[in-house]
């Protein structure tokens, strides 16, 4: 999985008017805006750059009316993937953009012969848990005090593709 032109593989989803495409360097400023309002301990610009250029990582963004409204990043090695981050602008949540990103990412993983997908989610983030459950993710464990900034536990979820 190497850096691709951001215009490649753009797709729309029937439930929303968003377009999903590969994440590019030019998207990082808008991603950082969403990142900082979505997470207590936000990633740095450099971390997103590393995702974009890493051969084992991939990032997708969803746009609506040319506005970046959400993103997801994951890595894949052999048959296993790990979703590291998924966020949607709070003003655009509950409109199907997170679902659209996850649908696109899972389709990509299946196309690339990935058979297992994992993620961690905050124990108190019920909305995200419901989204992941809708896709068939199941809780397989707990990481105690995983989120250092709050001391909150993470639920480890798995999806067999």
Choose, from 63, 71, 120, 123, the residue flagged as catalytic: 120
Please indicate whether residue 71 is annotated as part of the active site. no
Residue 17 has what DSSP assignment? S
Look at phi and psi of residue 94 and say left if phi exceeds 0, alpha if psi is from -120 to 50, else beta: left
Torsion over CA: 46, 52, 40, 138 (sign): negative
Report which DSSP code applies to 125: -
Catalytic residue among 132, 146, 147, 149: 132
Give phi and psi for 111, each to the nearest 5: -60, -25
Q: Which two tokens stand for residue 141?
A: 């464990």
C-beta separation of 25 from 116 below 8 A: no
| CB contact at 8 A, 46 and 35 | no
49 is catalytic: no
By annotation, the residues acting in catalysis are 120, 132
């Amino acid at each position: 999985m190497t850096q691709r032109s951001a215009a490649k593989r753009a797709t729309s989803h029937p439930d929303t008017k968003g377009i999903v495409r590969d994440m590019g360097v030019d998207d990082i400023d808008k991603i950082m805006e969403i990142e900082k309002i979505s997470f207590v301990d936000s990633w740095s610009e450099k971390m997103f750059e590393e995702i974009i250029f890493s051969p084992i990582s991939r990032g997708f963004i969803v746009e609506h009316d040319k506005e970046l409204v959400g993103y997801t990043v994951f890595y894949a090695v052999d048959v296993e993937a790990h979703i590291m981050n998924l966020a949607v602008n709070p003003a655009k949540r509950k409109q199907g953009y997170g679902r659209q990103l996850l649908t696109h990412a899972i389709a990509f993983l299946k196309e690339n012969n990935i058979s297992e997908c994992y993620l961690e989610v905050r124990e108190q983030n019920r909305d995200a848990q419901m989204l992941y459950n809708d896709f068939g993710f199941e809780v397989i464990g707990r990481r105690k005090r995983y989120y250092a900034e709050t001391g909150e536990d993470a639920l480890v979820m798995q999806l067999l593709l």
